[in-house]
Structure 1
């Protein structure tokens, strides 16, 4: 499933969890800039939208609701991601709004969020710069949990994932039989386990229910783990 389908599925899921102002804000607030960030930066890094929350509601220092463009909460860490366009406050025509925005960012950090400001113009003209900066910022937080993550997998499962990464994300059962020296029944068993754990999804032969190969679900930690 590509980005467009996953993005719509992700949005639909979050809409179902909301009502009232929170739902209205999501429908109004998740616009072109936020979608462009998800497609041009987030998707190339992670390959999924797990733990990413659009138009996430927090309270500011006055106790008033405030909606962050995107919040990433993979565990103990929390990142508040704001897409910054070149708006009126940069020209000092709306100084009150600009001052409140800066105070909110400071308060978010007090509340335990790390604030990431992303220039809208870079998303249009140089998304690769934002990709490299986001990866450099996020990977240390993920690597802290890498050992715990990999402890979920058996030695055979790790070998299968390594082979898939080296095969550009797709691998056939027959390839695993030949490279690992085990029978097809064993391979199918392990692939079923890995699909349940969200690391692979089966690709069916066109017009058939037969699995012809498996697609590896990309992780930002692939290069660090193997």
Structure 2
């Protein structure tokens, strides 16, 4: 399948599910490095963008909004992918930014994320190294799952995501909140909320 068509559809589909700053961040923040990562690393390895979310909003321990370049959310785990340029992620980083970056990484690990960082130089000039490392991280989880996940297991995993989302937002969450944060349709959002049940800071209607 033609990459440009696949990429355009991928961005358009996610943009259609978003609004406000989350949509603006996708259209502004998804730049050359992120597209090149998809073209040279992700697409050759997976062949599709299923379960992959660009410019995915997360919250830190202070409920401050941040964005991952990509989030790969599957029934066998959730993975964060960052495409790091030397200038913006190393050379221009002061001590406070450095400390925050480390603390954020640790917090995301505590929240169940498995984080991966790829340098722009490697994405551009050594994509085979990135593909190898990506496969080494994700592959074992896929193998242990048998690459065949029951619909029940998938629903249970996503219901846990709804609970985590309710915690990070610090308020009751309704279908619209799940739609905006997890890029799903209304029917799916309502099903996950009903699966979680009442009394845990969520509302199914």
Same topology, TM > 0.5: yes
Specify the SS of the correspondent of 1:78.
strand
Using the TM superposition, give the Cα deviation of residue 41 of structure 1 relative to its aligned residue in structure 2, in angstroms.
0.5
Structure 1 residues 128, 147: CA separation in 2 closer, same or farther (over 3 Å shift)? closer
Partner Cα distance (1:121, 1:6) in 2: 24
The 8 Å contact of residues 88 and 94 in structure 1, kept in 2 or not, is answered as no
Using the TM superposition, give the Cα deviation of residue 107 of structure 1 relative to its aligned residue in structure 2, in angstroms.
1.0
Residue 16 of structure 1: aligned partner:
16
Residue 119 of structure 1: aligned partner:
119
Please give the per-residue CA displacement for 1:25-52, whole angstroms capped at 9, x wherever unaligned.
Answer: 1111111111111110000001000000
Please tell me whether residue 146 in structure 1 is matched to residue 146 in structure 2. Answer: yes
Please give the per-residue CA displacement for 1:77-115, whole angstroms capped at 9, x wherever unaligned.
Answer: 000111111025523652222222221111111111001
Please tell me whether residue 37 in structure 1 is matched to residue 32 in structure 2. Answer: no
Specify the SS of the correspondent of 2:74.
coil
Question: Which structure features the higher share of helix residues?
Answer: 2
Q: Which has the higher contact order (CA 8 A, sep 6+)?
A: 2
Residue 136 of structure 2: aligned partner:
136
Within 5 A, what are the aligned runs for 1:53-132? 53-88=53-88, 90-91=90-91, 94-132=94-132
Give structure 1 stretches of 5+ with no counterpart.
151-226
Partner Cα distance (2:140, 2:106) in 1: 23
Over alpha carbons, which structure has the higher Rg?
A: 1
Structure 1 residues 30, 89: CA separation in 2 closer, same or farther (over 3 Å shift)? closer
Residue 26 of structure 1: aligned partner:
26
Query: How many residues in Structure 1 have an aligned counterpart in Structure 2?
Result: 150
Structure 1 residues 148, 48: CA separation in 2 closer, same or farther (over 3 Å shift)? closer
Residue 51 of structure 2: aligned partner:
51
Specify the SS of the correspondent of 1:73.
strand
Give structure 2 stretches of 5+ with no counterpart.
151-205
- TM normalised by structure 1 equals 0.63
Partner Cα distance (1:39, 1:93) in 2: 28
Partner Cα distance (2:33, 2:109) in 1: 23
The 8 Å contact of residues 68 and 80 in structure 1, kept in 2 or not, is answered as yes
| C-alpha RMSD over aligned residues | 1.8
